[in-house]
Structure 1
């Protein structure tokens, strides 16, 4: 069942109401009792889940896979490097330190 937003044109009272599509619209304001309670025009809220949608499958086509492949290549290159004899020499060779995310 959809949720409809209503607002009173007299007092400004607003309320969201869960109604069937076939139900008659409400007209009487629950706050002031005037017959100026009207439906508001609102945007539908929905979320695309699963595969088969542009948002999940094709929006960044290739960039995520390329970025993941590059990250895997750099981590394997780091693993294959021989470690320095003293622990401080490797961190002093990088301009921003060994704990940064750019190396």
Structure 2
């Protein structure tokens, strides 16, 4: 069963509730008992691992098919030696 974030628009009460998707919509706040309890949008708490996902297979590839490495940067050599005439 997924965990949903809820927040009351009147009293500000916020709760994480374990709810089935088939459960009726919960609108009554458990604190103030008003019909202003709304489901919040939140990030999922799982990570896709293994191959076949965008993050593991396609995220770091350029359009020509070559894999680019975003961790290494190219450094230019800077000549700081001074010449005397």
- TM-score scaled by structure 2? 0.59
RMSD over aligned Cα atoms: 2.4
Query: Which has the larger Rg?
Result: 1
Give aligned pairs, total. Answer: 65
Correspondence 1:9 to 2:9: yes
Partners of 1:50 and 1:10 in 2: CA distance:
44
The aligned counterpart of 2:31 is 31
Structure 1 residue runs of 5 or longer lacking an equivalent are: 68-103
**What is the TM-score normalised by the length of structure 1?**
0.50
**Structure 2 residue ranges without an equivalent (≥5):** 62-66, 73-85
